[in-house]
Amino acid sequence: MSDDHVYLTLAEGHEDDARWAYGTGFEDPLHGVDTTVPEGIDARELAALCVALADDALVSAQRLAEWITRAPELEEEVALANIGLDLLGQARLLYSRAGQADGTGRDEDAYAYFRDAGDFRNVRLAEVPNGDFAFSIVRLLMLSSWRLAHFEQLASHPDPVLAAIAAKGVKELAYHRQYAAEWAVRLGDGTDESHRRTRRALEQVAPYVGELFTACDVRDEVVAVLRQVTEAAGLPMPVYRPLPGSGRHGEHTEHLAPLLAELQGVARAHPEATW
């Protein structure tokens, strides 16, 4: 085989039907799946649930992407990117499902790029800035513990598409939670500085936690995980101090709009473009 082989074939196979990079094409990711909403399911409620879960995932992925080239070690670059990619993948599937369920037929990009902050339904914990590595880890621990417990329930949702998305997500989220828990223990147990920072991160996260439990009842599971991790890390359980308002109702911190401005800027500058 010639050294040049891989390069020489580059321009071949780029006809319209062969845009193959990352999957087989530009169709929606649920292509080939029966996407009719089953009888007895409130399609608008289903769509709203999918949008909220997708918004959590997209906003989290965006914050994780901000870590790239800034992580404390190369292994963490790889791991945080991996988690971000998983969440981005979940967001794409959930937006597609929402577009089918709400009858608008919108695609994933319509939801991600052409809604304003007030239309986003993510929890505020996902949107607040990354802070230091301890804050990002504690936030990831909370969000992934909650999302894993919630997805385990959703895996038996009467909508087969959402159930399948959740079942796939469970495997990913189990890894996210494990990654965050291991780091929380290392940081809590490690040095005085890492202990202090992690303790502070727990306090900073606490006000945003209540919002997670408004729509689903997985509080006991999440508290149990948190108890186990803080015990192993030698950290106190955070005291819950609820913050008024809820991202689930479109009430956000001042941090969401700038996050979306960055995410949406190029797409909105070229609304007629194809990417």
- The residue ranges that bind other proteins (CB under 8 A) are 3-4, 6-8, 10-11, 14, 19-22, 26, 58, 61-62, 65-66, 68-78, 81-82, 84-85, 88-89, 91-92, 95, 108-109, 112-113, 132-133, 185-187, 189-191, 193-194, 197, 262-263, 265-267, 270, 272-275
DSSP string for 51-112 = HHHHHHHHHHHHHHHHHTTTSSSHHHHHHHHHHHHHHHHHHHHHHHHHHHHTSS---HHHHH
**Shortest Cβ distance from residue 220 to other proteins (Å)?**
29
DSSP string for 143-158 = HHHHHHHHHHHHTT-S
Nearer to other proteins, 15 or 39 (CB): 15
**Shortest Cβ distance from residue 60 to other proteins (Å)?**
13
| Structural contact between residues 140 and 176, judged by C-beta atoms closer than 8 angstroms | yes
**Shortest Cβ distance from residue 241 to other proteins (Å)?**
27
**Shortest Cβ distance from residue 23 to other proteins (Å)?**
8
Q: What is the rounded CA–CA span in Å between residue 60 and residue 231?
A: 26
Q: What is the rounded CA–CA span in Å between residue 69 and residue 160?
A: 39
**Shortest Cβ distance from residue 189 to other proteins (Å)?**
5
Q: What is the rounded CA–CA span in Å between residue 265 and residue 273?
A: 13
Note every long-range contact of 149-154, with CB atoms under 8 Å and residues 24 or more positions apart, other chains counting: 149/218, 149/221, 149/222, 150/53, 150/216, 150/218, 153/216, 153/218
For 130, phi then psi, to 5°, come to -60, -30
Give the closest residue to 246 by CA, choosing from 204, 203, 214: 214
Nearer to other proteins, 7 or 32 (CB): 7
Nearer to other proteins, 135 or 151 (CB): 135
Q: What is the rounded CA–CA span in Å between residue 101 and residue 272?
A: 26
- H or E element that contains 113: helix 108-113
Nearer to other proteins, 97 or 207 (CB): 97
Nearer to other proteins, 72 or 242 (CB): 72
Nearer to other proteins, 11 or 239 (CB): 11
**Shortest Cβ distance from residue 42 to other proteins (Å)?**
26
Nearer to other proteins, 22 or 39 (CB): 22
**Shortest Cβ distance from residue 165 to other proteins (Å)?**
15
**Shortest Cβ distance from residue 255 to other proteins (Å)?**
14
Nearer to other proteins, 107 or 221 (CB): 107
